[in-house]
């Protein structure tokens, strides 16, 4: 996938090409400049993500990975939030909002995808720390939640990443997470 600019005429939700959104990225503290990346198509679909991540069923939250750095230390995924997901009827009736804990889980899954991209056999990672977590905006059905992950450090057994959620150029959550590898992941159906 070539890297290029998102054009100002881009209309894909979550990939708002408006100049004002791009100009404000530094003020809002995005982990990296989204305007410099080509986020126009899926680089890895659900099936490809499933070859690296052990999450299945309702807990496989990422719809696609749109971009990764060549070394898989940074990446952008997307969760195209639908009105049919398990949490919609109960969180909250009449005004569904994606639970913050699921936003963080999506960030964790993006981090696991990047971590596992380095191994022949994917590892099962459990999270030991979630730090500096804050929620700054709502995510609702119809939104495309971009998930940014930026590795701080990694080894064969552990990794730390900064994660962030973004909808239409606005940060919805951010956190720092630590994961530890528990062994090889069981990747059966």
Closest by alpha carbon to 100, among 26, 5, 171?
A: 171
Look up residue 36 and give its DSSP letter: G
**Alpha carbons 166 and 150: distance in angstroms, whole number:** 14
**Angle, vertex CA 152, rays to CA 147 and CA 154, nearest 5:** 105
Whether residue 55 lies in the annotated active site: no
Q: Which residues pair with 47 in a beta bridge?
A: none
Six-digit token string for 30? 């995005």
Residues 6+ apart with CB under 8 A from 161: 107, 111, 114, 149, 150, 151, 152, 176, 177, 179
Considering the candidates 55, 91, 129, 144, report the single residue annotated as catalytic: 91
Kindly list the catalytic residues: 91
């Amino acid at each position: 996938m070539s890297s290029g600019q998102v054009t100002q005429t881009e209309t894909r939700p979550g990939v708002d090409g408006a100049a004002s959104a791009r100009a404000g990225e530094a003020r809002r503290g995005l982990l990296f400049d989204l305007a410099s990346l080509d986020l126009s198509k899926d680089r890895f679909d659900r099936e490809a993500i499933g070859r690296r991540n052990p999450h299945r069923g309702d807990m496989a939250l990422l719809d696609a990975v749109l971009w990764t750095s060549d070394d898989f230390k940074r990446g952008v995924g997307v969760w195209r939030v639908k009105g049919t997901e398990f949490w919609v009827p109960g969180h909250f009736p009449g005004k569904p909002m994606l639970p913050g804990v699921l936003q963080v889980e999506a960030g964790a899954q993006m981090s696991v995808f990047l971590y596992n991209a380095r191994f022949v056999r994917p590892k099962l990672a459990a999270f030991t720390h979630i730090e500096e977590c804050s929620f700054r905006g709502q995510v609702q059905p119809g939104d495309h939640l971009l998930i940014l992950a930026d590795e701080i450090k990694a080894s064969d057994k552990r990794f730390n990443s900064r994660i962030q959620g973004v909808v239409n150029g606005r940060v919805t959550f951010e956190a720092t997470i630590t994961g530890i590898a528990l062994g090889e992941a069981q990747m059966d159906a």
